[in-house]
């Protein structure tokens, strides 16, 4: 499951649209401020958004806002849960922690592509592209991330057939 620090391999218009917004607030070594991002700027991206909060010690990620489409695809609204408390449907369960650790340390966005296994394992997986962008309360440290998840099948009915997420037992 590949992840990158550059967006050149991303084809998702939604991820690239948010990258452009994030780039407008990212200058030099300053992490963009969270309060600079007004959802009115990107209403068509809101169903695809995931906002997470990072606690550095011990390292933990808490999901603060999960967009409606992300919840629908996951078949679980994981708002308010921590990353460690979730059993992801993705083939690589560790990708989200790895991404958040890279972002926390580098203070730069991470991009990637993955497949969500189909609920019926004999059928094709659902491709997803994502971008996860660091934001800050002070311009120096990463306190939160804003992610855009874009699911690539053209027919939305295909999207609800992915393997569901659920809390770990």
Query: Does the pLDDT at position 122 exceed 70?
Result: no
Question: By the 8 A CB rule, do 64 and 51 touch?
Answer: yes
What is the per-residue pLDDT across 67-121, written as a single tens digit (0 to 9) for each?
999 988 888 889 999 988 887 665 566 888 999 999 999 999 999 998 877 666 6
| Total Cβ atoms within 10 A of residue 23 | 13
CATH number of the 3-36+46-156 domain: 3.30.450.20
Helix (H, G, I), strand (E, B) or coil at 9: coil
Most confident among 92-96, 143-147, 149-153 (mean pLDDT): 143-147
Which tokens sit at 89? 């449907």
Nearest to 132 by CA among 162, 107, 151, 115: 107
Nearest to 37 by CA among 50, 26, 22: 22
Which tokens sit at 18? 């948010």
Residue 58: per-residue pLDDT: 93
Give the position of tokens 């990158």: 4
The residues, ordered by sequence, that sit 6+ positions from 7 with a Cβ below 8 Å of its Cβ are 15, 16, 19, 109, 111, 131
For the chain, the domains span 3-36+46-156
Query: Does the pLDDT at position 59 exceed 90?
Result: yes
More confident residue, 55 or 160: 55
Question: By the 8 A CB rule, do 42 and 63 touch?
Answer: no
Residue by residue, what is the 3-state secondary structure of 120-141? CCCCCCEEEEEEEEEEECCCCC
Rounded to whole angstroms, the Cα distance separating 5 from 28 reads 16
Residue 1: per-residue pLDDT: 56
pTM of the model: 0.87
Residue 152: per-residue pLDDT: 78
Query: Does the pLDDT at position 166 exceed 50?
Result: no
């Amino acid at each position: 499951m590949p992840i990158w620090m550059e967006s050149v391999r991303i084809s998702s218009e939604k991820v690239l649209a948010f990258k452009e917004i994030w780039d407008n607030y990212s200058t030099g070594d300053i992490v963009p401020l969270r309060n600079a991002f007004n959802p009115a700027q990107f209403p068509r991206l809101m169903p695809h958004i995931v906002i997470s909060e990072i606690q550095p010690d011990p390292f933990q990620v808490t999901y603060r806002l999960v967009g409606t489409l992300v919840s629908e695809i996951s078949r679980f609204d994981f708002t308010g849960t921590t990353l460690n408390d979730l059993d992801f449907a993705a083939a690589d369960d560790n990708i989200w922690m790895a991404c958040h650790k890279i972002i926390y340390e580098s203070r730069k966005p991470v991009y990637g592509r993955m497949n969500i296994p189909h609920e019926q394992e004999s059928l094709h997986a659902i491709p997803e592209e994502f971008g996860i962008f660091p934001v800050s309360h002070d311009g120096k440290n990463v306190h939160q991330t804003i992610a855009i998840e874009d699911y690539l099948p053209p027919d939305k009915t295909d999207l609800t057939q992915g393997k569901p997420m659920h809390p770990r037992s």
